[in-house]
Amino acid sequence: MLRVFRHHVSAAAVTGMVADMALCFLAVLVAGSSLPEPMMRIGEALGPTAPLLVASQFSLLMALMYSFVGLYRPHPIATGAALRRTGVAMAVGAYLTYLLLQTFADRKVAGELMIATTVYLVVGVVLLRCGVFLLRRATSVPRVLIVGTGADALTVANELRNLRHIRRDVVGFYPTTSDDADAAFEQGQPPVFARGTPISELVARHQVREIIVAVREQRGGGVPIDELLTCRTQGVPILDLAGFYERTKSEVPIDSLKASWLVYGHGFVQGPARRFAKRTFDILSSGLLLTLASPIMLFAAIAVRLDSPGPVIYRQERVGLGGRRFMCLKFRSMRTDAERDGVARWASKNDPRVTRVGLFMRKTRIDELPQLFSVLRGEMSMVGPRPERPSFVDDLRKAIPFYEIRHSVKPGITGWAQVRYAYGASVEDARRKHQFDLYYVKNNSLFLDLLVLIETVSVVLFREGQ
C-alpha cells in the first residue's frame, strides 16, 4: 500500500494506472507513425510537438475513463464485466479525443488516427493483461504472521485471502494464550505455531515480511511485546487491528478501537488551509454541476409534479457540522403519506413508499441534486458523511462508539461510505458505514474528495453502493 495525502492507495492500482497511461501514450505514437499524413495534418495546427500533445491528452483522458468505470476500485470485478467496462471506456475516450481533434483537422484525419489508436490500444491491453497475469504467477507473495488465534485472527486471515488489491501469504498463527491454540485448525487455516517458539525465529525461518497483531486486548501479558519489539527493530512492520483495517480496507473498526489510538494517531487535519481549500472546491464544483445539471433538474421537477400529488422539493431536518440542524433538500421520491403516523423510518431497498419517478431518481442520484444549493450555502459539502435525521442520530449515538466524530466535518452529498459499502438500512449497517465515515474524517484531504467523486460516477453508472 502507498500513502498519498494521508490516504492509503493500493500499489497495484497505481501501477496499473501508470501502465495503462503509458500504453495509451504509446498507442497514439505508434498510430501516428503508421499514419504519417494524418499526424502531419494535425501537426500543422499544433506544431512539431503534436504527437506528444495528443498522446498526453489521450492517456490522461483514458485514465479518467478507466477510473469512472471502476477499473481501479478494490472490489473484484468479473472478467466479463471488466471487459465490457474497458470497452465502454475506450469507446468514450476515443470519441471525445476524436471530437477534440476535429478542431485541428478534418473528420477523416481525426477518424483515421483514432481508429488506428484504438486498434493498437486493444492489442496492447491484451498483451499487458497477459503479462501481468504471468508476472503475478511468477513473483513471490509477501508472507505474514498473525499474532492471535481467536475470531479476529481468523477474520484477518480470510480478509487477506479475499482482498484483490493486496496479495499476502499467511504462514501461520502465533497464540497469545494456551487455551485457544486449536481455534485456527478447526477452520482449516494455516498452522498454529507453538507459543514457546520465539517470534523472531519464526520470522527468520519463514521469511515473514509483516506481523499483524489480531488481538483486541493487549494488556495483561497475553501479547509478547518484547518479542514484537525485537522484530520491529529488525525492520519488520507490525500492525494492530485498527491499523490493518485502516490500511487494507480503508475503514476504522470501532469494536476494537480505543480513544487513545485516535488521540495519538495521525490525521484529523482541520486547519485553516484545509477548510479554505475544501470550501473553494465546494463552491466551484457545486456551481459547475448546477450549471450542467439545470436541464436535468428542470425535467425532474416536471416529472415529480406529473407523477404524484405533492411538493416537488422535499425538505427534511438533518444533523450537520457540530451537531447543528439544517433543512436537507431533495426531489420528492416518496408519496406524501410515507410517514403519516409521524414515526421516522429507515429508507430501505425497494421501499414500497417510493414513487415510479422516485425510483428512477434514486437509482441515478438525481433526487440529491437540490442539495447542491445546500453546498453553496455552506450547510453541506460535496464530500462527507451523509447527514442523518435527528431522531436517528439520538439512537445511533447510543449504539455506535465515537459516532459524534462524524459531526466534526460538514455532511456531504456523497461520501466514502457511499462508494465503499452496499445499500444499508439498519443500525448494524449504520455501524459499518460509520467505520468508513470515521476513516474519511481521520484522513480527509482534497485528494480523497476527488477520489470519492470519481468513484461516485462508477457507483451511479453500475448501481453499486447506496
Domain with residue 190: its CATH number is 3.40.50.720
Tell whether 291 and 344 lie within a shared domain. Answer: yes
Would you say residue 264 lies in a domain? no
Tell whether 87 and 114 lie within a shared domain. Answer: yes
Question: Cβ(79)–Cβ(133) under 8 Å?
Answer: no
Tell whether 96 and 156 lie within a shared domain. Answer: no
pLDDT surpasses 90 at 20? yes
pLDDT class for 281, splitting at 50, 70, 90? very high
Q: Could you list the residue range(s) of the whole structural domain that residue 72 is in?
A: 2-138
Would you say residue 261 lies in a domain? no
Would you say residue 257 lies in a domain? no
Tell whether 56 and 162 lie within a shared domain. Answer: no
Tell whether 314 and 426 lie within a shared domain. Answer: yes
Residue 337: the pLDDT is 67
Of 249, 284, 306, the one marking the end of a domain is 249
pLDDT class for 203, splitting at 50, 70, 90? very high
pLDDT surpasses 80 at 431? yes
Tell whether 284 and 308 lie within a shared domain. Answer: yes
CA nearest neighbour of 292 among 369, 357, 345: 369
Residue range 312-325: mean pLDDT, rounded: 93
Would you say residue 382 lies in a domain? yes
Residue 326: the pLDDT is 95
Q: What is the grid cell recorded at 59?
A: 492517456
Tell whether 152 and 21 lie within a shared domain. Answer: no
Q: How far apart are CA 43 and CA 53, in angstroms?
A: 10
Give the range among 211-215, 251-255, 347-351, 359-363 with minimum mean pLDDT: 347-351
Residue 349: the pLDDT is 61
Handedness of CA 122, 72, 425, 339 (dihedral sign): negative
Handedness of CA 228, 234, 235, 236 (dihedral sign): negative
Would you say residue 254 lies in a domain? no
Nearest 5°: phi and psi at 423? -55, 130
Give the CB-side neighbour count of residue 427, counting CA atoms within 13 A: 11
Residue 199: the pLDDT is 93
Of 138, 155, 178, the one marking the end of a domain is 138
> How many other C-beta atoms lie within 10 A of the C-beta of residue 76?
11
- Total structural domains within the chain: 3
Q: How far apart are CA 238 and CA 203, in angstroms?
A: 12
Q: What is the grid cell recorded at 301?
A: 421537477
pLDDT class for 98, splitting at 50, 70, 90? very high
Tell whether 48 and 165 lie within a shared domain. Answer: no
Of 122, 138, 154, the one marking the end of a domain is 138
Would you say residue 265 lies in a domain? no
Tell whether 26 and 94 lie within a shared domain. Answer: yes
Residue 254: the pLDDT is 86
Q: How far apart are CA 174 and CA 160, in angstroms?
A: 17
Identify the residue with better confidence: 92 or 351: 92
Tell whether 122 and 238 lie within a shared domain. Answer: no
Give the range among 113-127, 226-240, 348-362 with minimum mean pLDDT: 348-362
Residue 218: the pLDDT is 67
Q: Which residues pair with 170 in a beta bridge?
A: 144
Owner of C-alpha cell 486493444: 122
Tell whether 25 and 46 lie within a shared domain. Answer: yes
Encode the chain in three state secondary structure: CEEECCEEECHHHHHHHHHHHHHHHHHHHHHHHHCHHHHHHHHHHHCCCHHHHHHHHHHHHHHHHHHHCCCCCCCCCCHHHHHHHHHHHHHHHHHHHHHHHCCCCCHHHHHHHHHHHHHHHHHHHHHHHHHHHHHHHHCCCCEEEEECCCHHHHHHHHHHHHCCCCCCEEEEEECCCHHHCCHHHHCCCCCECCCCCCHHHHHHHCCEEEEEECCCCCCCCCCCHHHHHHHHHCCCCEEEHHHHHHHHCCCCCCCCCCHHHHHHCCCCCCCHHHHHHHHHHHHHHHHHHHHHHHHHHHHHHHHHHHHCCCCCEEEEEEECHHHCEEEEEEECCECCCCCCCCCCCCCCCCCCCECHHHHHHHHHCHHHCCHHHHHHHCCCEEECCCCCCHHHHHHHHHHCCCHHHHHHCCCEEECHHHHHCCCCCCHHHHHHHHHHHHHHHHHCCHHHHHHHHHHHHHHHHHCCCC
Tell whether 348 and 438 lie within a shared domain. Answer: yes
pLDDT surpasses 50 at 179? no
Residue 99: the pLDDT is 92
Output the average pLDDT for the chain.
86
In sequence order, what are the residues at sequence separation of 6 or more whose Cβ sits closer than 8 angstroms to the Cβ of residue 390?
Answer: 317, 318, 319, 325
Q: How far apart are CA 409 and CA 442, in angstroms?
A: 10
Give the range among 135-144, 185-194, 295-304, 452-461 with minimum mean pLDDT: 185-194
Return the percentage of the chain with pLDDT > 70, whole number: 91
> How many other C-beta atoms lie within 10 A of the C-beta of residue 428?
11
Identify the residue with better confidence: 214 or 340: 214
pLDDT tens, residue by residue, 42-65? 777 777 888 899 999 999 999 999
Q: How far apart are CA 36 and CA 12, in angstroms?
A: 36
Highest mean pLDDT among 181-185, 272-276, 435-439: 435-439
Would you say residue 164 lies in a domain? yes
Would you say residue 156 lies in a domain? yes
The C-alpha angle with vertex 429 and arms to 421 and 153, in degrees rounded to 5, equals 80
